[in-house]
């Protein structure tokens, strides 16, 4: 865990605290009552959405009667969660824990039916789509969101970059974000990412009709070395969901299997994107 992000370590700590509570057959409410705090606080610690304090974890270790070596390990893990990733300076944008998960995932599978995924967006496309979604966004916040989006893309430049698969509804190719020239440049960037093997892209064509996930955009994060379970991220207009329950993850995996079966092959997808790119460029 030494090289993983504070976000991932925070979620790992939460998972282990939840396991300890379940092993002792305690409810969240019972733990909260013992520690004289709210059940919400315990829940947020266990889901990794709240940064733990040394005192909180010390008290939980005492309640669960863990041995000294385990307690020390947990306390060290707490200290690790207080290290900072590069995205912490953008904390006001409410991008944690998403970026931490993205940074440490060994595999990222993205399904989108509305717009090009952030890791493949050009600066102009990002600028336009962010503004379209949040019409009244403060100009400074707008610019900071663009900066973060472009910084995130460095993940695909690294030597240990994750396996990145994008399943994209054909509607994304037809939705003109910012006009023909911008779209030609954007699709060109997608094709370049595929060419240099940063991403695998598959298009779900209109001819498929109704399909397994046409009412939802989501991302599956998987982690090979951290011991963390997979996480499903579902983006919403006012709030986001992070799903880790086995049943939830299994349902989304099933949807991804259906989507892959419905999609064009990677080769045929590149051909379709190329045709659309040339059409936008007037070729």
Quote the tokens at residue 51.
């940064």
Confidence at 128, pLDDT banded by 50, 70, 90: very high
Output the CA–CA distances (angstroms, integers) from residue 192 to 3, 12, 196, 201, 203, in the order listed: 30, 35, 6, 11, 16
Position with higher pLDDT, 10 vs 29: 29
Q: Quick check: helix, strand or coil at residue 275?
A: helix
Q: Show the DSSP H helices in 24-118 as ranges.
A: 28-35, 39-47, 54-64, 68-81, 98-104
Q: Are strands 107-112 and 163-169 parallel, antiparallel or unpaired?
A: parallel
Q: pLDDT confidence of 1, banded at 50, 70, 90?
A: very low
pTM of full prediction above 0.75: yes
- Sorting pLDDT into bands at 50, 70 and 90, what band is 103? confident
Looking at every residue in the chain, the average pLDDT score rounds to 87
Mean pLDDT on 105-114: 93
Catalogue all structural domains in the chain, each as residue range(s) with its CATH number. Answer: 6-83 (1.10.260.40), 90-281 (3.30.870)
Cα 119 to Cα 74: distance, rounded to the nearest angstrom: 34
What is the average per-residue pLDDT within 47-70? Answer: 86
CA separation for the pair 83, 29 (Å, rounded)? 30
Contact 66, 20 (CB under 8 A): yes
What span, in angstroms and rounded, lies between the C-alpha atoms of 181 and 179? Answer: 6
Judged by average pLDDT, the poorest of 100-104, 178-182, 251-255 is: 100-104
CB atoms within 10 A of CB 17: 24
In this prediction, residues 105-111 reach a mean pLDDT of: 94
Torsion from C-alpha of 220, 221, 227, 228, nearest 10 degrees: -80
Q: Is the pLDDT of residue 224 over 90?
A: no
Q: Tell me, what's the pLDDT at 81?
A: 67
Residue 192: is its pLDDT beyond 60? Answer: yes
pLDDT over 50 (residue 171): yes
Average pLDDT over residues 14-28: 90
């Amino acid at each position: 865990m030494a090289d993983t992000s504070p976000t991932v370590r925070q979620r790992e700590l939460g998972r282990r605290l939840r396991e300890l509570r379940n092993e002792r057959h305690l409810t969240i409410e019972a733990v909260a009552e013992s520690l004289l705090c709210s059940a919400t606080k315990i829940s947020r610690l266990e889901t990794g959405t709240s940064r733990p304090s040394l005192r909180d974890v010390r008290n939980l270790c005492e309640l669960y009667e863990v041995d000294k070596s385990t307690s020390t390990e947990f306390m060290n893990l707490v200290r690790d969660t207080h290290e900072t990733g590069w995205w912490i300076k953008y904390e006001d944008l409410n991008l944690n824990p998403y970026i931490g998960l993205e940074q440490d995932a060994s595999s990222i599978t993205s399904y989108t039916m509305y717009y090009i995924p952030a890791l493949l967006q050009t600066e102009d496309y990002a600028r336009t789509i962010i503004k379209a979604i949040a019409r009244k966004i403060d100009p400074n916040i707008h610019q900071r969101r663009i900066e973060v989006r472009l910084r995130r893309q460095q993940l695909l430049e690294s030597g240990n970059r994750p396996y990145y698969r994008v399943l994209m509804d054909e509607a994304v190719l037809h939705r003109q974000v910012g006009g023909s020239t911008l779209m030609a440049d954007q699709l060109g960037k997608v094709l370049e990412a595929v060419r240099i093997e940063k991403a695998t892209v598959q298009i779900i064509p209109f001819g498929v009709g109704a399909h397994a996930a046409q009412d939802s955009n989501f991302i599956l994060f998987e982690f090979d070395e951290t011991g963390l379970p997979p996480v499903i991220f579902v983006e919403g207009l006012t709030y986001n969901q992070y799903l880790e329950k086995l049943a939830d993850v299994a349902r989304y995996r099933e949807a991804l299997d259906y989507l892959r079966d419905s999609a064009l092959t990677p080769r045929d997808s590149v051909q379709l994107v190329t045709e659309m790119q040339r059409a936008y460029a007037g070729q």
